[in-house]
Chains A and B, each alone.
Chain A
Amino acid sequence: MSHSPDVSTTTTRAGRTWWVLGLGVALFVAGVISRFASSAPDGLERVTEDHGIAEQAVGSVGLLSYGGATTLLGLGLVLVLTSALSWAVRTRGR
Chain B
Amino acid sequence: MHVPDGFISAPWSLATGVVAAGAVALALRGARRELDDRTAPLAGLVATFVFAGQMVNFPVAAGTSGHLLGGALAAVLVGPWTATLCLTVVLLVQALLFADGGLTALGTNVILMGVIGVWVGYAVFRLTARAMTAAATRHRPLVPLAAGVGAFVSVPAAAAGFALLFAVGGTAPIALSTLLSAMVGVHLAIGVGEAVITALVVGSVLAVRPDLVHGARGLLPTRTLVSHAEAVS
Contacts and interface: CB of A to CB of B under 8 A. Distances in A.
Interface of A: 2-3, 7-15, 18-19, 21-23, 25-27, 29-30, 33-34, 36-44, 46-48, 50-53, 56-66, 70-71, 73-75, 77-83, 85-87, 89-94
Nearest to A30: B52
Given A44-B162, A83-B40, A61 B172 contact: no
Contacts of A87: 40
A42 to B, nearest CB: 5
B159 A43 contact: yes
A73 B55 contact: no
B43 A82 contact: yes
Interface residues of B, number: 77
A70 B3 CA distance: 21
Interface of B: 1-7, 28, 31-33, 35-49, 51-53, 55-60, 63-67, 78, 82, 85-86, 89-90, 92-94, 96-100, 102-103, 159, 162, 166, 170-172, 174, 178-179, 182-183, 186-187, 189-190, 205, 208-209, 229, 232-233
In order of increasing CB-CB distance, the 7 nearest A-B pairs are: A62-B99, A83-B44, A58-B6, A86-B43, A30-B52, A82-B47, A94-B36
Most chain-B CB neighbours within 10 Å: which of A10, A33, A42?
Answer: A42
Contact of A90 (B1, B3, B35, B209): B35
Contacts of B232: 12-15
A27 B51 CA distance: 10
Contacts of B28: 89
23 contacts: A10-B229, A12-B233, A15-B232, A23-B45, A30-B51, A37-B65, A38-B57, A38-B65, A40-B65, A42-B65, A43-B65, A43-B190, A44-B1, A51-B179, A60-B4, A60-B103, A63-B96, A82-B44, A82-B47, A83-B43, A89-B31, A91-B33, A94-B37
B51 A75 contact: yes
Given A46-B186, A82-B43, A85-B89, 5 more contacts: A44-B2, A44-B3, A62-B100, A78-B93, A89-B35
B174 A42 contact: no
